[in-house]
Structure formats: structure tokens, C-alpha cells
């Protein structure tokens, strides 16, 4: 018997995947390998494999057991069969068949208020704005409820009637014959667009739409310590809802631009500072740039190229705790390439006064 594949591998997701990630991956693969769609050899086996993986990972108890014990923890779990969720539960099965035959699940047939889809955009900010935070204003077009008809789309409440085509259901039913038998599927009513209502006299302000398109300015607060790739949520600024439902939300992905000198590593900051060979040899004191201003740093005598020093608390504050990280200063030695006559004479004098055996001579001896 062939060894079973890892369920996470089957669905193509990581072990940190959320419930929504698991469901999304399942639906995509189930549609891809469904016998009514994919006639390639082995597609039916892959379809069953996807079903089994989803049945486990979508159930919190089974998932916890699988994460701890692997396939051994699934012995006796009882896969397969419509009653036991062999197709990811009737709800998911209906969703898949709905996508094949133009219908939908019972949730889609509801004529009640439905929240709109979420909206996504990206925002670029400077490195220092990510460190200290800021408030940014953005302009976007948003559908807002019509204040004249309060979203009904009608001139008055008496102008709203039940749709005669779907009898107020918002959906019309059709039958489709499949290898599994005859299935009923539903589609959005073409006369009322799924609202279940028919407007006799339309609102003059929105022309029966129930909403108006507006250009609005939104103030977005960017918190101090935000990292590139993190998202901010602005409530109610997504796509409009259906049947009087609220708008979705706006999600803004923040992209932090690189700094010329500072490099970020979580809460910590790294910077490279150049010093001369003389300063590294004799020692010195320098003023190192940080995001909070210059800080005095003592370079001890004999400091080597690449040596790192830590400036405690000079990093970036944690987004949740406010605890600052550190700044790490890496010293790089720069050798003078142009010497005047006096400098060259001093270096020659230093060379003659030094050890007869050079650093390179010692290095060569180590090969013998």
C-alpha cells in the first residue's frame, strides 16, 4: 500500500494556515479534480485525497490529533460518505456544485442583508514613518447608502413590491442532470438581481440603486513600529453590501521603503560606520547616528574590521508591547588610498618601528 501524503502537502498549504486558508485551498482543488470537470486518469483519486485531507484539517479536534500524531492519530476516524463529511460537509458540496451549474448554497439564496466584499490596496511609507508612526490621508471612491431612500431605492415604502418572478426569494431554481443524479441549483433572479423586491417608482436621487458613489478622504493612522507587509483595516470602506447590508472593509498593506543607512531586523536596527585604521588602532570616540539622534560610542584601541557594538534601546519599539529593540553598529575599516608626503613618511616610520615579522609573514608560516 502506498504511503499516505501529508495532508498539508495535499492541500498545498503550510502548517500555520488559517481556517480560511484551508477552506480556500480545498475549494480550489476540489473544483480542479472533480470527476465532472476533470476527465484525466487519476483525477478521481486526487479528488478523494483532497476530500480526506480537508475533512481532517477543517475539524479542530481531528486537526489537533493529526498535528500531534500524524496519520496514526486518524486511525478509526471514519472517512468517506456524505453523512460523515466525505465531501467536506453538505454546505461545501453545495457550494462546489453551485459553481459548476450556476447555483449556490442556501446562504447565497438568502435575500437578507449581506456584507460587501473587502477591498485591498497598498501604501508605501518612508522608513522613519514606520519607526515613529504617522497619519496619512487617502482618497477613494466609496458607495454609500442613499440618504433620500435610506438604501431602499424606492421613492417611498409603498413603491417596494415583492418580485413576481422569484416570489421574493431572490433566486430562481433550475434542474441539472449529473452522474450523481438530478440536482436542483439556483441562480440569481434576473428581474430583481437577488433582492426579492421590485421597485415601482425609483428614488430620484440614486435612480433606484439604493446607494450613491462618493469620493471620500480617509485618515489612516499608521502605528509606530509597523513592518513591511503588515495590514491596516479601515472599517466600512470596502465594496457595498447587498440588500441593505453594510459595506465590506478596506485592508491596506503597508510597504516600508528602504533607508540609505539603517537596516531593520524585527525590532533591531543595523548600521555600518567607517573609521580609519589609525582610529581603530589607537581607539577613538565617535557620534553614531540612530533613529533618535546621535549617540556617543567609544571605539577601544585595537578594534578589528567587522566588530559589532550594541546600543541598547536604540532600536524600534514593538508594535504591541512598545518595548524598544537595540541598534547594532558594525565597524568597517577604511584604508587611505591617497597619502601626502608627510603621511607617507609617518607610515614608513611606523613600519620600520614595527615587528620585523609582518602579519602576512605569520599567515604564510601557518601553511608550513
Tens-digit pLDDT profile for residues 141-150: 999 888 888 8
195 and 163 housed in the same domain:
yes
Residue 293 counted as domain residue? yes
What are the pLDDT digits (tens) for 40-85?
888 888 888 988 999 889 888 888 878 877 776 665 444 443 333 3
Q: Per-residue confidence at 359, pLDDT binned at 50, 70, 90?
A: low
Pair 226, 327 in one domain: no
Are 95 and 214 part of one and the same domain?
no
Same domain, 227 and 308: no
Domain membership of residue 106 (yes or no) is: no
**pLDDT tens digits for 322-355?**
899 999 999 999 888 888 888 888 888 887 776 6
Mean residue pLDDT across the chain: 83
Please tell me the pTM assigned to this model: 0.58
The 10s digit of each residue's pLDDT in 210-248 is 889 999 999 999 999 999 999 999 999 998 887 777 889
> 343: domain CATH number?
2.60.260.20
Q: Which residues pair with 66 in a beta bridge?
A: none
Is residue 102 very low, low, confident or very high in pLDDT (cuts 50, 70, 90)? very low
Rg (CA), the chain: 33
pLDDT-derived band at 115, boundaries 50, 70, 90:
confident
pLDDT score recorded for residue 333: 93
Which of 256, 275, 301 terminates a domain? The answer is 256
Q: How many domains does the chain have?
A: 3
Residue 112 belongs to some domain of the structure: no
Last residue of a domain, one of 234, 256, 278: 256
133 & 245 share domain: yes
Q: How confident is the model at residue 258 (pLDDT cuts 50, 70, 90)?
A: very high
Q: What are phi and psi of 23, to 5 degrees?
A: -65, -40
Residue 108 lies in a domain: no
Domain of residue 189, CATH code: 2.10.230.10
Same domain, 200 and 239: yes
pLDDT at 96: 53
Residues 214 and 306 in one domain: no
Would 324 be classed as within a structural domain? yes
User: Residues 281-310: pLDDT tens digits?
Assistant: 999 999 999 999 999 999 999 999 999 999
Is the pLDDT at 261 greater than 90, yes or no? yes
Q: Supply the CATH number for residue 54's domain.
A: 1.10.287.110
Q: Which of 14-28, 156-170, 306-320 has the highest mean pLDDT?
A: 306-320
Q: Range of 313's domain?
A: 263-365
Residues 160 and 232 in one domain: yes
**pLDDT at residue number 262:** 97
Q: Note the pLDDT of residue 151.
A: 81
CA distance 59 to 78: 13
Q: What are all long-range contacts of 64-73, with beta carbons under 8 Å and residues at least 24 apart?
A: 66/7, 67/15, 71/4
pLDDT tier at 185 (50, 70, 90 boundaries)? confident
Percent of the chain with pLDDT over 70: 83
Domain closes at, from 206, 238, 256: 256
Whether residue 248 is found in the same domain as residue 143: yes
Q: Please give the pLDDT value at position 146.
A: 87
Amino acid at each position: 500500500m502506498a504511503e499516505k501524503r501529508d495532508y498539508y502537502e495535499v492541500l498545498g498549504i503550510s502548517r500555520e494556515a488559517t481556517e480560511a486558508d484551508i477552506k480556500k485551498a480545498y475549494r480550489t482543488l476540489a473544483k480542479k479534480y472533480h470527476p465532472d470537470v476533470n476527465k484525466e486518469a487519476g483525477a478521481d483519486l486526487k479528488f478523494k485525497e483532497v476530500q480526506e485531507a480537508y475533512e481532517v484539517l477543517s475539524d479542530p479536534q481531528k486537526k489537533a490529533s493529526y498535528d500531534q500524531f500524524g496519520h496514526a492519530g486518524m486511525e478509526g476516524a471514519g472517512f468517506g460518505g456524505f453523512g460523515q463529511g466525505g465531501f467536506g460537509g453538505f454546505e461545501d458540496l453545495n457550494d462546489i456544485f453551485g459553481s459548476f451549474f450556476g447555483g449556490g448554497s442556501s446562504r447565497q439564496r438568502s435575500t437578507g442583508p449581506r456584507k460587501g466584499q473587502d477591498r485591498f490596496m497598498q501604501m508605501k511609507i518612508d522608513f522613519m514613518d514606520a519607526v515613529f508612526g504617522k497619519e496619512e490621508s487617502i482618497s477613494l471612491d466609496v458607495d454609500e447608502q442613499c440618504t433620500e431612500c435610506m438604501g431602499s431605492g424606492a421613492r417611498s415604502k409603498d413603491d417596494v413590491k415583492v418580485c413576481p418572478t422569484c416570489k421574493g426569494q431572490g433566486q430562481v431554481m433550475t434542474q441539472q442532470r449529473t452522474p450523481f443524479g438530478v440536482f436542483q441549483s439556483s441562480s440569481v433572479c434576473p428581474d430583481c438581481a437577488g433582492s426579492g423586491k421590485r421597485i415601482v417608482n425609483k428614488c430620484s436621487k440614486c435612480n433606484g440603486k439604493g446607494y450613491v458613489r462618493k469620493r471620500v478622504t480617509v485618515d489612516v493612522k499608521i502605528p509606530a513600529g509597523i513592518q513591511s507587509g503588515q495590514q491596516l483595516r479601515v472599517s466600512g470602506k470596502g465594496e457595498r453590501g447587498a440588500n441593505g447590508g453594510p459595506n465590506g472593509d478596506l485592508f491596506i498593506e503597508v510597504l516600508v521603503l528602504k533607508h540609505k543607512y539603517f537596516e531593520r531586523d524585527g525590532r533591531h536596527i543595523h548600521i555600518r560606520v567607517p573609521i580609519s585604521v589609525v582610529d581603530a588602532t589607537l581607539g577613538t570616540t565617535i557620534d553614531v547616528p540612530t533613529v533618535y539622534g546621535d549617540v556617543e560610542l567609544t571605539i577601544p584601541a585595537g578594534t578589528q574590521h567587522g566588530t559589532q557594538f550594541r546600543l541598547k534601546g536604540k532600536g524600534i519599539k514593538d508594535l504591541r508591547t512598545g518595548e524598544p529593540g537595540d541598534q547594532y553598529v558594525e565597524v568597517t575599516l577604511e584604508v587611505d588610498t591617497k597619502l601626502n608626503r608627510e603621511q607617507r613618511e609617518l607610515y614608513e616610520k611606523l613600519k620600520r618601528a614595527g615587528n620585523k615579522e609582518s602579519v602576512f609573514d605569520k599567515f604564510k608560516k601557518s601553511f608550513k
